Amino acid sequence: MREYAFFLGCIAPNRYPGAESASIITSRRLGIELLPLNGASCCPAPGAFGSIDLNIWYAMAARNLVLAEQMERDIALICNGCYKSIYEVNHKLKHNDELRDGVNEVLKEIDMEFKGSIDVWHLAELLYDENIVGVEKIRESVKVPLTGTKIAVHYGCHLMKPKKERHMGSTEAPRWIEELVEALGAEAVEYRNKMQCCGAGGGVRGYDLPHSLDITNEKLQNMIEVGADAVTEVCPFCQLQFDRGQIEIEEKFGIKYDMPVFHYNELLGLAQGMSPSELGLDLHAISTEPFLKKVL
Amino acid sequence: MATKNYPDPILNEKLRDRYYHRDQSNPEFTKEIEKIAGTMAHMCFQCGTCTAGCPSAPRSSYRIREFMRRAVLGLEDEALTDPDLWFCTTCYSCTDRCPRDLAPTDVIMAMRNLAARRDIVPVNFLKTVQAIYSSGHGVPNNDVNRAAREKLGMTRDPPTTSMYPEYIKGIQKILDHYGLKERADRIIKEREG
Ligand code: SF4
Ligand code: SF4
C-alpha cells in the first residue's frame, strides 16, 4: 500500500461526499491508501484568494502543506482548484528562497515552518502512472464494465495548465484521461473545444453567473453534438458547474440537457461494482438514472 | 522633410507627440505588474492569440490583449477600474498559447492584486474570505450534507477544520497578519450597508 495524505478541499466533502468516499474506496482496491489530513482547510480558492493578494494565498496554502509535512506523507487530491493552490504553492516555495522566507515569517506566528519535504499529486495522475497504478490495473479491477456508453471527458484547467508549471505535456489535445475512461469499458468521445474551461473559475461564477453559465452551456452543446451519455471530470468545482449549473442554465436560458455528470472516481466506483447509493449519486442535481440504466 | 497632415488639427497634434498617452501613463505600473506576474509583459507584440482562445472574449467586452497593452503602456487607472478585469476565469489557455511565451493570466492576477489594494474587488471574492475566516472552508459543510455523509457511512464532518475547529485559530492568525478579514468586512459593509 502506498500512503498519501488526502487533501479534501471544500466542494467534494461538503457538496459531493460520494466523490470523496469513492476515491478512498476505489484507491484502496488499487493499492493506494488515502489517509485523513486532519485540520486541513480550503486550499484556499486560487481565484478568490490569488486575485486579492498572492502572498496571502501562498501563506494559507503553505499551512495545509505543513500539515502533510508533519505527517511525512505526499499529498494526493481530487480537485483541480486544490491542485493549483497546493501543487503550485509547494513548487514555488521549494524553488524561491525569498518567497519561502516571507511565508515562514508569517507561519512562525502559528509555530509552523514550511520545509519543502513532500510532493503533491492529483489522484488522476497517480491512477494513470503505471509505476503506481496504471491503466492495466484499473482495467483488471472492473467488475461492471460501462460498455455501450459514450463519455465526454472534461479535463478542467488547472490540472494541466499552465503547462510550463506542470509536467503533463501538451494541453491542446491530451488523451490520458480518455484512456482511464476506456479502461472502464466505456467509449471516450472527442468533442469540439474539449480543453475549454467549464466557466466557473477565477471568481467568475460568483461575479457574473450568466456569463459563467454561458461558457458551460457551450461545452454541453459540444458534448451533446457528439452523442455523449455523460460527462466525467476530475474536479468537484467543474462537477458543480456542470451538475448544478444545468439547473441554473434551465432557469436562466430555458435550455434543458439532463446530462449526467460524474467525478472520474465515481465512475471508477461504479465500474468496480459499487452501488449508486454507496456512491451518493442521488445527491447529484441531475439524475444519473438514464446512464445507470445503460450499464446496470 | 514634409510631414504628412491629417484634416483634424487635434489629431495632428496628438500624432506629432509620440507619447500622447503620457499624462495617463505610469511607467511604474508596468514594472510593478511585471514584478508581481513574473512575466515580461513588454515583450507582447499584440498578435491577439490570447484573445482568440479566451472563453470570456465571445460573451463580453473583455479582451485580454487590451489588458496586455494597458500593462505595457502603464495605463493603470484604465486597467484597474475596468469591470472586465474580473471576467478572466484563469483558464490559462492564453498562457499556454502565447507565441512570446508570456503569461497574460498572471498579468491579470497582478492587476487584480493592485486593484484590491485600492479596495476595488468584487464582493463575492471577499465573502469567500469571510467564510474561510469563520469555518476554514470557502464552501462550508451544512446539515443536509452532514446527513448525506452519514448515510454514506462517512463521518458527519470531514476531518478538516470542520471536525477539528481548533485549527481555525491558525487560519485566523494568518489572515489577521494581513488584516484581510477586517478589510473584507469593511468593504462589504460599505457596499451592502
Ligand atoms: S498572445 Fe502573447 S504576444 Fe500575443 S497579444 Fe497575447 S500576450 Fe501579446
Ligand atoms: S486565462 Fe483568462 S484571459 Fe486567458 S484565456 Fe483564460 S479567461 Fe481568457
CATH number at residue B33: 1.10.1060.10
Q: Is B96 in the pocket of ligand 1 (CB under 6 A)?
A: no
- Pair B102, B25 in one domain: yes
> CA A129, CA A123: separation in Å to the nearest integer?
10
Average pLDDT over residues B135-154: 97
Q: Which among B91, B129, B180 is the nearest to A201, CB-wise?
A: B91
Residue B184 lies in a domain: yes
Take residue A89 and report the three cell numbers written for it: 504553492
Residue B13 lies in a domain: no
- Pair B67, B152 in one domain: no
> CA A200, CA B90: separation in Å to the nearest integer?
10
Residue B6 lies in a domain: no
- Mutation for B interface: A160, A204, A244, most B CBs within 10 A: A204
Pick the last residue of a domain from B67, B87, B117.
B117
- Mutation for A interface: B137, B155, B168, most A CBs within 10 A: B137
Enumerate the residues of chain A whose CB falls inside 8 A of the CB of residue B159. Answer: 8, 36-40
Residue B3 lies in a domain: no
- Pair B23, B113 in one domain: yes
- Pair B156, B84 in one domain: no
- Pair B112, B144 in one domain: no
- Pair B27, B111 in one domain: yes
What does the pLDDT read at residue B14?
Answer: 73
pTM of the model: 0.94
Q: Which atom of ligand 2 lies closest to the CA of B53? A: 5
What does the pLDDT read at residue B4?
Answer: 64
Residue B160 lies in a domain: yes
Structural domains counted in chain B: 2
Residues of chain A falling short of pLDDT 50: none
- Pair B162, B107 in one domain: no
Enumerate the residues of chain A whose CB falls inside 8 A of the CB of residue B103. Answer: 162
Query: DSSP class of residue B160?
Result: B
Helix, strand or coil, per DSSP, at residue A35 = strand
What does the pLDDT read at residue A296?
Answer: 87
Owning domain of residue B129: 123-192
- Pair B64, B23 in one domain: yes
Q: What pLDDT, in 10s, does the model give residues B3-34?
A: 567 788 887 877 776 665 677 889 999 999 99
Pick the last residue of a domain from B117, B133, B168.
B117
Take residue A96 and report the three cell numbers written for it: 524561491
What does the pLDDT read at residue B11?
Answer: 78
What does the pLDDT read at residue B19?
Answer: 63
Helix, strand or coil, per DSSP, at residue A75 = strand
What does the pLDDT read at residue B1?
Answer: 43
Q: Which among A39, A44, A60 is the nearest to B160, CB-wise?
A: A39
Pick the last residue of a domain from B54, B86, B117.
B117
Max Cα–Cα distance, chain A, nearest Å? 57
- Pair B143, B166 in one domain: yes
Residue B5 lies in a domain: no
Ordered by where they begin, the domains of chain A are 2-122 (1.20.1050.140), 144-295 (3.40.50.11810)
- Pair B92, B132 in one domain: no
CB contact set of A4 (below 8 Å; sequence gap of 6+): A32, A33, A34, A35, A73, A74, A75, A76, A121, A126
Residue B171 lies in a domain: yes
Q: What pLDDT, in 10s, does the model give residues B57-114?
A: 999 999 999 999 999 999 999 999 999 999 999 999 999 999 999 999 999 999 999 9
- Pair B88, B150 in one domain: no
- Pair B97, B150 in one domain: no
Helix, strand or coil, per DSSP, at residue A188 = strand
* Burial state string for B152-175 with b = 16 or more CB within 10 A and e = fewer than 16: bebeebbbbbbbbeebbebbeebb
- Restricting to B residues 70-89, those with a Cβ less than 8 Å away from any Cβ of A are 86-89
Q: Looking at the complex, report in whole angstroms how far the Cα of residue B22 sits from the nearest Cα belonging to chain A.
A: 28
Residue B71 lies in a domain: yes
What does the pLDDT read at residue B20?
Answer: 57
